[in-house]
Copies of this chain bind each other. A is one copy, B any other.
Amino acid sequence: MCTGEYEYPMSKFDQQPHKVAIPPPQPFIKSLKLTVKETLFPDDPLRQFKGQKPSRKFILGVQYIFPFFDWASRYNLSFLKSDIIAGITIASLAIPQGISYAKLANLPPILGLYSSFIPPLVYAMMGSSKDLAVGTVAVASLLIGSMLGAVVNANEEPKLYLQLAFTATFFAGVLQASLGILRLGFIVDFLSHATIVGFMGGAATVVCLQQLKGILGLEHFTHGTDLVSVLRSVFSQTHKWKWESAVLGICFLFYLLVARYVSTKRPKLFWISAMAPLTSVILGSVLVYLTHAEKHGVQVIGELKKGLNPITIMDLSFGSQYLSTAIKTGIVTGVIALAEGIAVGRSFAMFKNYNIDGNKEMIAFGMMNIAGSFTSCYLTTGPFSRSAVNFNAGCKTAVSNIVMAIAVMITLLFLTPLFHYTPLVVLSSIIISAMLGLINYEEAIHLWTLDKFDFVVCMSAYFGVVFGSVEIGLVIAVALSLLRILLFVSRPRTSTLGHIPNSTIYRSIDQYQNAKTVPGVLILQIDAPIYFANSSYLRERIVRWVDEEEDRLKSSKENSLQYVILALSAVGNIDTSGITMFGEVKKVMERRGLKLVLANPGGEVIKKMNKAKLIEVIGQEWIYLTVGEAVGACNFMLHTYKNAEKLTTGSESGKESRNDNNV
């Protein structure tokens, strides 16, 4: 047996190898408590309450639920100045966007204004983000329109439709608040970034397509949201296209896009883009008023009722036959709204270096929507575009939301008649311009270069939404994302390790070209927790590694395999199937005359092996702290064996070692 070509620093192994420790046993209740804490309270929200006096605890508790009382005491005039500027800026965006998105949901336009009045006030009290601007969003609006529209026609039964919209909002709020209270906020994390990029892009495309109705001044339009239905609907009535409307729409769209382009190039000019929708509305309204274009095919908003939000708590229809639709709509839109709001809140918090408790935010969103459903508002969240404007306008605290709400209130009380002549086509232009920003093709390219599977998920969501429906796209994308996790778990990577020259380090041969295999020893690394879903696979895969290695050694006439070392550093957890698997692998190796050696089993693994009495089966002396020490021991044995071979006849000693293995 020649080991001359392989230089191993034997001197390292003069010292005793280190023992693998079994973590001290924990009482069941304690470990359960720890698991629950890590699962549901990873951010340890009650840390600040520890060791405080009861009165202080009460104040902290109130401040915990209403962060407003926490920062209000530190509020000052310079903050107020910044917040007023930011608040007015977002109000100028909120008013036209609110009206547009309400149209998208087939709801009366005035609801868009109502929804920018009460919910921002609730959020200002309960929310912990300083930058989030509350309002309605296009995707959720579209979803409400399509999901409720599937069972009730908004034009034929407007009252019922409105009731269902409020009921759906109520359930969305209840869902959001419950997720937060039950600390289940991590469910939102299952909407991956790739899913959201694809889904948002698809939804934006669909919303843009819907705007063809407004741009072309069509009166009849398909109820479907998919590309095929919309294009068929548009091109089947080319004779009804209204050029006046189209010209107006394209002009305003051009104006809005130029404004946005300028703001993107010079972030300091953010207000150009922020004010553009309002100026479009004003310009459009004045134009229609002067030319009386409403009589020439340009549709206008018409009468908007003056006054604040009517109370609608009695309108929630829990007894309706469409209750299940309302609940479903509430759940789907609630989750999507949550995902957007939380992501937006987190990214700005990251930017300004403060913390956001996702679960607390969910409670705030939930309460805001429950309160909204009582006061004529439909689903609101923290839209990205509006929050970005808020941030750019220099907001300091949630007071900017209060300022916006006051501005909207003034509009509701005194200015609604001004919107009478606002052409719908301007609203369509505003929506399209906002939506184009959501089609993030650069991110899709980034996903392609970085991770092909994420790209597939993203594209599936996009095409699912565009060719199917918003729900189909979402379901496909979430299913694919989950499938990916399950695939990863059921097919973990295994790789052979080699020795990195001049060190005691062993690393994957695929990654480190200079890593050298050790003669007579196969070192396998398992790169995932071992579970029922992968234990059969791993057993087969380990055997195949051994088969392939033995084939290779045979064909290259090298010394035969003697030891198989499993490097378990990456095995973070194991279940009973995994433990059984180790026992089986041990048996297979024994039968083939190979020694199974374990390197660096983690706490969970060694603990369960101990409980299952597997340590005795494998042999305490065959479990090492590092791959290096395991290889050292194997080499030591190989040398001893080699010397023994010199003394006795080879075949006999070979047999002996085989018998040893079978004990």
Report the nearest B residue to A585, measured CB to CB.
B350
Chain A's interface size range is: 35 or more
Q: Mark A476-513, 1 if CB is under 8 A from B, else 0.
A: 00000110111111111101000010111101101111
A54 within 8 A of B: no
The 6 closest A-B pairs by CB, nearest first: A192-B532, A527-B572, A511-B603, A570-B570, A23-B511, A193-B577
A528 to B573, CA, bound (A): 9
**Residues A186 and B482 in contact, CB atoms below 8 Å apart:** no
**Residues A193 and B580 in contact, CB atoms below 8 Å apart:** yes
Q: Mark A400-439, 1 if CB is under 8 A from B, else 0.
A: 0000000000000000000000000000000000000000
A346 to B535, CA, bound (A): 13
Q: Please provide the chain A residues from 553 to 597 with a CB less than 8 Å away from any CB of chain B in the complex.
A: 569-573, 575-577, 579-580, 584, 587-588, 591
**Residues B513 and A611 in contact, CB atoms below 8 Å apart:** no
The verdict on A192 contacting B491 (CB below 8 Å), with A540-B42, A570-B569 known, is no
Indicate which residue in B502, B503, B513, B536 contacts A21 across the interface (CB closer than 8 Å).
Answer: B513
A333 to B438, CA, bound (A): 47
**Shortest Cβ gap from A549 to chain B (Å):** 13
**Residues A588 and B353 in contact, CB atoms below 8 Å apart:** yes
**Residues B527 and A43 in contact, CB atoms below 8 Å apart:** no
Q: Which residues of B contact A495 (CB under 8 A)?
A: 603
**Residues B490 and A575 in contact, CB atoms below 8 Å apart:** no
**Residues A190 and B544 in contact, CB atoms below 8 Å apart:** no
Indicate which residue in B447, B576, B625 contacts A454 across the interface (CB closer than 8 Å).
Answer: B576
Indicate which residue in B21, B512, B532 contacts A194 across the interface (CB closer than 8 Å).
Answer: B532
Indicate which residue in B355, B482, B540 contacts A486 across the interface (CB closer than 8 Å).
Answer: B482
**Shortest Cβ gap from A461 to chain B (Å):** 13
**Residues B527 and A18 in contact, CB atoms below 8 Å apart:** no
The verdict on A576 contacting B194 (CB below 8 Å), with A544-B43, A587-B350 known, is yes
**Residues B449 and A611 in contact, CB atoms below 8 Å apart:** yes
The verdict on A533 contacting B611 (CB below 8 Å), with A42-B491, A503-B18, A591-B353 known, is no
| 12 interchain pairs, CB-CB under 8 A | A28-B452, A42-B540, A42-B544, A44-B544, A190-B490, A191-B532, A192-B532, A193-B532, A194-B576, A350-B588, A508-B603, A528-B529
**Residues B575 and A454 in contact, CB atoms below 8 Å apart:** yes
**Residues B193 and A505 in contact, CB atoms below 8 Å apart:** no
Report the nearest B residue to A601, measured CB to CB.
B511
**Residues A527 and B489 in contact, CB atoms below 8 Å apart:** no
Report the nearest B residue to A508, measured CB to CB.
B603
Report the nearest B residue to A195, measured CB to CB.
B532
Q: Which residues of B contact A626 (CB under 8 A)?
A: 505
Residue among A508, A532, A533, A600 facing the most chain B CB atoms (10 A cut-off):
A532
Q: Which residues of B contact A24 (CB under 8 A)?
A: 513
Report the nearest B residue to A614, measured CB to CB.
B450
A529 to B21, CA, bound (A): 24
**Residues B485 and A189 in contact, CB atoms below 8 Å apart:** no
Q: Which residues of B contact A541 (CB under 8 A)?
A: 42
The verdict on A186 contacting B490 (CB below 8 Å), with A511-B23, A532-B481 known, is yes
**Shortest Cβ gap from A57 to chain B (Å):** 19
Q: Which residues of B contact A537 (CB under 8 A)?
A: 42, 186, 189
**Residues B544 and A450 in contact, CB atoms below 8 Å apart:** no
**Residues A625 and B500 in contact, CB atoms below 8 Å apart:** yes
**Residues A533 and B189 in contact, CB atoms below 8 Å apart:** yes
The verdict on A486 contacting B485 (CB below 8 Å), with A24-B513, A576-B194 known, is yes
A510 to B572, CA, bound (A): 13
A358 within 8 A of B: yes
Q: Which residues of B contact A452 (CB under 8 A)?
A: 28, 32
Report the nearest B residue to A569, measured CB to CB.
B569
**Residues B569 and A510 in contact, CB atoms below 8 Å apart:** no
**Shortest Cβ gap from A477 to chain B (Å):** 11
Q: Which residues of B contact A446 (CB under 8 A)?
A: 576, 612
A222 within 8 A of B: no
A324 within 8 A of B: no
The verdict on A190 contacting B533 (CB below 8 Å), with A450-B608, A513-B24 known, is yes
A38 to B545, CA, bound (A): 12
**Residues B358 and A536 in contact, CB atoms below 8 Å apart:** yes
Indicate which residue in B350, B502, B503, B588 contacts A584 across the interface (CB closer than 8 Å).
Answer: B350
**Shortest Cβ gap from A551 to chain B (Å):** 9
A507 to B571, CA, bound (A): 14
A531 within 8 A of B: yes
Report the nearest B residue to A32, measured CB to CB.
B452
**Residues B491 and A532 in contact, CB atoms below 8 Å apart:** no
A358 to B539, CA, bound (A): 13
Q: Which residues of B contact A529 (CB under 8 A)?
A: 488, 528
Q: Which residues of B contact A532 (CB under 8 A)?
A: 189-195, 481
Indicate which residue in B191, B481, B504, B536 contacts A189 across the interface (CB closer than 8 Å).
Answer: B536
A626 to B543, CA, bound (A): 29
Q: Which residues of B contact A493 (CB under 8 A)?
A: 38, 572-573, 604
**Shortest Cβ gap from A341 to chain B (Å):** 14
**Residues A193 and B573 in contact, CB atoms below 8 Å apart:** no
Residue among A358, A482, A510, A602 facing the most chain B CB atoms (10 A cut-off):
A602
A380 within 8 A of B: no
Q: What 7 new A-B contacts, CB under 8 Å, besides A186-B537, A193-B532?
A: A43-B540, A190-B532, A193-B576, A194-B575, A350-B588, A447-B576, A485-B485
**Shortest Cβ gap from A586 to chain B (Å):** 11
Residue among A39, A512, A541 facing the most chain B CB atoms (10 A cut-off):
A512
A89 within 8 A of B: no
A154 to B71, CA, bound (A): 72
The verdict on A487 contacting B575 (CB below 8 Å), with A190-B533, A452-B28 known, is no
A21 to B507, CA, bound (A): 10
A190 to B608, CA, bound (A): 21
